[in-house]
Structure 1
Amino acid sequence: MLGDVTQTTGTVTTDVIPGRPRRPRVHRAWIVAAVTFVTIIGGAAFNSLPGLLIDPLHTWFGWSRGEIGLAVSIDMALYGLTAPFAAALMDRFGIRRVVVVALSAVAAGALASVWMTASWQLMLYWGLLVGLGSGAMAMSFSVTVTNRWFTARRGLVTGILTAAGASGQLVFLPLCAWIVDRHGWRAASVTVALAALAVVPLVWFLMRDHPADVGLAPYGGEHTEKPAPPKGAAARTVRVLFDAARTGPFWLLAGSFAICGASTNGLIRTHFVPSAHDHGMAITAAASLLAVIGVFDIVGTVFSGWLTDRYDARRLLAVYYALRGVSLLFLPMLMAPAVHPPMILFIVFYGLDWVATVPPTMALCRERYGEDSAIVFGWVLASHQVGAALVAFLGGVARDVFGSYDVVWYASGALCAMAALMVLAVRRARTDGPVLHDVAA
């Protein structure tokens, strides 16, 4: 054909006929991924602030740390319990609509908290609205985008979007701490609300639910028609939970991952800053240490994935939990007004271990539950947030009762030792038939 030229888009080479519009040089999938990345970074602002508000709200309103911790625990619990249903909502109503509603809920909750006068309002605004909104943008958001828009480079995209949370923590923790220290907690809440609202136009105008919406194939794949909105996705999510709950490995994995959440989001992310402040450390310095965790958890997660491909996932998890427990036992002795080398060593180790538990836990879910493993992992992830929620609340209560956080660190260390024993009790899957109803003794 006269004048035909060849153009390469993504990994697909196509013929372009003069006179017809050319496809964009940058595949739309990368634009969608970039919007997702920015959205997840914004989500880090929502998750960074609660731990910074405990002392300011206690001083401003006189609320107990237990009351404030309860609001944080509601936020974390709803974050986890919303996640298994988020993918179903996106399948039914579309990614763009669900994410815009979620961002609006977060902005409304953060902004309304500026005018609160009672602790129940903190539970409503920050616990309910922010918890539901941020839960809709949990891991299922990045998984849905990756599965729909990419056939090639899925591993790379998944890694980049996973790193977005850590990158956002690195940016927003010091920023929010500086705002709280210089301008007060209300200014920090307004900052979170504005961050959520700033992302809404990007999502609405640049995000699309499916490549077929713009006449494209997924990156590296072939063109497919957009499927009709499925029915019964939420029912399947619940059905898989009931089936998995009949097996012993599910409870061992869910229990150990609940302790993982308790010792990370519930404990360190929520109570490390106020605990360090109790020992005279500046809030900005303590928040900067937490931000460093966000750097090293990227390295730890990638390395853990590499190890998971080569070694028994159960033994890896046992080592991770045991070492985490030992480090928590030493933490009370490391607290001081200034940052010193042993504390930096703890922060580096905790960063490496922070989400290193995810790859081997996912591997065990795949081994035990096959094609339902993604949904099962969603529920295991929910247990992670429930564990975080409990410790976010109980840690504040313990601080009110005992006057320090020492007992919280010691108790969490003991729980990590329990988690190490639990994962070792997960038996290998049988290869002679279905494993879903194989109940461990």
Structure 2
Amino acid sequence: MGMTLLLGGCGSTGSSDVTLRLVAADYGDSAANSSKKYWDSLVKAYEAKHSGVKVEVSVYSWNDVDAKVKEMVAAGHAPDLAQIGAYADYAAAGKLYPASDLLSIRTQADFLSQLSDAGQWNHTQYGIPFAASTRVLFYNKTLFAKAGITPPTTWDQLAADAKVLKDKGVKYPVALPLGPEEAQAETMQWMLSGAGADTGGSGYTDDVGTYTIDSAQNVDTFTWLKDDLVGKGLTGPVAPGRLNRADAFAAFADGQVGMLNGHPTLIQQAEKKGVQFGTVPMPGRTGTARASMGVTDWMMAFKQNGHADRIGDFLNFVYSEKNVLDFSRDYGLLPVTGSASTAMSDSDAASDKALHPFLDQLPTSELYPVGKTSWAAVAAAVKQNIGQAVAPGGSPSAVLTRLQATATAADSSAS
């Protein structure tokens, strides 16, 4: 899930005229629904009420936006605002305004608390949540009905369902995308589902932020995946380490997948192909997983060009209930504010009701450790290596131990 706003330099044609430059990620999947349309409409409404401020928005694909902002900052031309995937490196380098220097008390208090907390570096919030999503288990209702099975609530039931689906000829009984595109997400969801309510654990780190990738729970989780799913031929013809999330989603939309972890954008993708699907909370080792994985994309404001007051006024407008809801509804994502979340939860509109299962997971969701400047390096290592943990002859313990060593070294270097 991602998007970037680029608000770069400040041009002035008079003492009160300011141009804010925003770089934003594109959440659309075609020119017809590009995020550029959302920002053009929002900026037009804002500028109509603020004659002294112009906002120039540049929208880039998620493949390019983070790198584009990095290039701009390195060249000494930071945007005023960027909405991208990570903020911690810029915060640690002293390049960002704290959120409290920008936002009204009302706006800052409206953010969902766990998202605001995730936006903190060194106990100060620099990352401003922009869009969120959670994961649930999607299942193909048609394939389940033909197989005479019901959605699972435990790992044992999931494996049993997958076995029946395999016997019925389903190509991917349960898709396990551990390929390099987004393996860090699939990995974290399984880590969370393997951590019981009585044993704690929160994915990649413990409660105080120390990496625990090679914990006994995580080793047990990947051993189960290797032995009980992959080893029994229940994950399809493509090795998990080579199966990317986009390909798994496309296969689900083509009716070839029985079950997989998915985020809200899969709804529209499946509906376009006419797939009858349902969603349930992610199964856990002995019952429903205690937490779902959450993902948040971030807005941040760079100090280089000044204009904190103008930037803050614009952001207060961006985060109004109406604008947050409009964006969330346009792109099938979850609101990051309490007011917009309540409005969506109370809505009976079909499009909003489709997001309710994901919204229900948000309050207890666990996010990536994005406040750690080491996270980018750790995520890259997970993407490249985690598939080996479930490969034939692979060792979950050895792979997770290597990843833990990488994380510990990256953390030490970052500090």
TM-score after normalising by structure 1: 0.23
For the pair shown, the structure with the greater C-alpha radius of gyration is 1
Structure with greater helix share of residues: 1
Quick check: which one's strand share is greater?
Answer: 2
